[in-house]
Amino acid sequence: MGEFRFEAITILVILLPGFLAARIEQRLVVNPKQNEFDKTVEALLYSFFIYLVFTAINRSLPVSLKVETVGSALRYSLDASVSRLAMLPAIAVLLAVLMAFASNHDYFGKLFRSLGVSRRTWRGSIWSDVFHNYGGVVQVELDDGRSVMGWLKYFSDRPEDGSLFLERASWVAAGSTEPVKIEGPGIFLTGGSGIRSVMFLTSGNTSGESPHAGP
């Protein structure tokens, strides 16, 4: 029983870099919703590529399992160095950041579209596509007929939430050419605000900042 626990702990330690990479990537990218099995498979795939990169650099595995016979029993031990093990989380973080950068900029989608393999983007929804590609000044039309205009600062990750935060915002009355300024830093439109449409206006980026996805 003790030997089984040791083997299980060894396997867990070996797979930890993949789980670290998957966790970082999940925080940086808006992925389709995953169940626990999907997350585990993703972590296993990351583990495979992490050890592939490590082996390509060092021409050996970072951890080896030693089995010694002591009397009639088998004794298991790990043979590893701290410096070699430290490379694993470093590779995991770097791989996760590179994957997140490529996914958020749709590099994979562009590649497969250029090859005629797919017409889809790599992002999870058209909501994410639009707000990653466009920003600046927007005018948001609400279900009650009101409109509000401002600088798009934050937007929710998923369309079912449908929340926006606008800086330097103003109410735009129907038939009026003079917006009514909202005092304060801006306005937060929640999913319950009833957003009907979002118009991206031609005014330039006045603050030099880019919009950011929400947490």
Q: pLDDT digits over 181-213, tens only?
A: 898 899 999 888 889 999 998 764 444 344 555
**Chain segment 57-83, per-residue pLDDT in tens:** 888 777 666 666 777 776 666 666 677
- Residue 185: its pLDDT value, please? 92
The mean per-residue pLDDT over the stretch 122-137 comes to 87
Q: What is the CATH number of domain 126-213?
A: 2.30.30.100
To 10 degrees, the CA torsion angle through 189, 190, 196, 201?
30
C-beta atoms surrounding 143 within 10 Å: 9
Residues of the chain with CATH 2.30.30.100: 126-213
| Residue 63 tokens, joined | 């951890």
Residue whose token pair is 């031609």 = 202
Q: What phi and psi values does residue 67 have, to the nearest 5 degrees?
A: -120, 120
b/e map 28-62, b = 16+ CB within 10 Å:
bbbbeeeeeeeeeebbeebbebbbebbeeeeeeeb
The mean per-residue pLDDT over the stretch 133-143 comes to 90
